[in-house]
Amino acid sequence: MADEPLVLGIETSCDETGVGLVRGTTLLADVIASSVDEHARYGGVVPEIASRAHLEAMVPTIERALADAKVAAADLDAVAVTAGPGLAGALLVGVSAAKAYAYALGKPLYGVNHLASHICVDQLEHGPLPQPTMALLVSGGHSSLLLAPDITRDVRPLGATIDDAAGEAFDKVARVLGLGFPGGPAIDRLAREGDPAAVRFPRGLTGPRDAPFDFSFSGLKTAVARWVETRRAAGETVPVADVAASFQEAVTDVLTRKAIKACKAEGVDHLMIGGGVAANSRLRAMAEERCADAGIVLRVPRPGLCTDNGAMVAALGAEMVARGRTPSALALPADSSLPVTEPHIPGEDHHHTHHHAGHHH
Ligand code: KG4
Ligand code: ZN
């Protein structure tokens, strides 16, 4: 609808320069420039390389998104940008660009949370999120179960990883198996040729006395590394596809089991899964099966919207505008450790300060 807010979203928290355009909950454009190939030989994202790549890609990526959506910058209702969490230098490039566009166009600026964006993006595919939303957020840096009564201002963590994030575990196990970086997509592909029951790897924090909604993947990662090293030391060939499939099975088993348990505990009849690891084909299939058995409606965006992109930032920005949330100040900082409980960084409320002139806040 033409009266819904038209929002530009900019994402630069890691190695993808993402720019999205959204009108309300409708996706108009989603353009991504990735520096992933430049990091591959280092085995991980190099912050300085990512920042430089964002700087070079920023303006052309914004221009392509506007052209794809066939809208003019002057028609925007707001500019949204990932303010955190993420790599400080990489975030700064996006935040600076967003400020420049917002200031030049005279439009409100919204510094939003990367993690809340990973959840809100599902509105572009499956319509408005239910309230509350139960979300399993699984990315390279975070693994959490979140209950969000309102994605624009009320996100409550039920549990999180106590060590490695799910994506981090995929990346580390991929390195052990010699599959390169990033490891998630490589393990996903290889696991299709393997037997998920070949090795029974440990399921962390699933004992009766363990925290029901927290995760631990570091023991699993170590178990995989030990298993592989033992075979190699004995001169045996490592059945790489079987190990990949068995590792992936352990991760997805724990993630889906705890997510469904959280839905039942909170009386929520649906589950949203977001973040890069939600692109995993086995996680998607297992969640589909187990949610169906439990009578829970599953919402997972298509894989391209699970990994980092600008559309998710625009989606949350549009929701902020639609719900009348206070924009950010032009002095908006990049906050590399922005907590998941803060969906955006509001500026000083102008009406409020006006009526209370002279008071300090
Ligand atoms: O959300 P994301 O793109 O960036 C962060 O915010 O961290 O997530 C990146 C993570 C990486 O660890 C990557 O290996 C993992 O998501 N990932 C996958 C798949 N695609 C990306 N993990 C498992 N299976 C996949 N298909
Ligand atoms: Zn992400």
Taking only the tens place, the pLDDT of each residue in 190-203 is 999 999 999 999 99
User: Which pLDDT tens digit goes with each residue over 114-172?
Assistant: 999 999 999 999 999 999 999 999 999 999 999 999 999 999 999 999 999 999 999 99
From residue 154, alpha-carbon distances to 116, 148, 296, 313, 326 in Å are 10, 6, 22, 17, 14
What pLDDT sits at residue 47? 96
Best residue for ligand 1 mutational test, from 170, 217, 283 (most atoms within 8 Å of Cβ): 170
- Tell me, yes or no, whether 10 lies in a domain: yes
**Residues 102 and 200 reside in one and the same domain:** no
Q: Tell me the ligand closest to 182's alpha carbon.
A: 1
Segments forming the whole domain that contains residue 181: 130-302
Note if the pTM is more than 0.85: yes
| Tens of pLDDT, residues 280-307 | 999 999 999 999 999 999 999 999 999 9
Residue 332 inside a domain? The answer is no
Specify the ligand 1 atom closest to the Cα of 86.
6
Same domain, 192 and 97: no
Nearest to 177 by CA among 87, 239, 250, 249: 239
Report the CATH number at residue 40. 3.30.420.40
Verify that 141 and 17 share a domain, yes or no.
no
> Position of tokens 């922005």?
338
Question: Are 172 and 282 in the same domain?
Answer: yes
Tens-place pLDDT, residues 62-118:
999 999 999 999 999 999 999 999 999 999 999 999 999 999 999 999 999 999 999
Residue 341 covered by a domain: no
How many domains does one find in the chain? 2
> Same domain for 86 and 66?
yes
Nearest residue by C-alpha to atom 10 in ligand 1: 140
| 107 lies in the same domain as 231 | no
User: What phi-psi label fits residue 86: left (phi over 0), alpha (psi between -120 and 50 degrees) or beta?
Assistant: left
How confident is the model over 25-54, as pLDDT tens digits?
999 999 999 999 999 888 889 999 999 999
CA distance 254 to 351: 48
pLDDT for 203-222, tens place per residue?
999 999 999 999 999 999 99
Claim to verify: residue 105 and residue 143 sit in the same structural domain: no
Q: What pLDDT is stored for residue 355 in this prediction?
A: 44
User: In terms of domains, do 316 and 292 share one?
Assistant: no
User: At 261, is the secondary structure helix, strand, or coil?
Assistant: helix
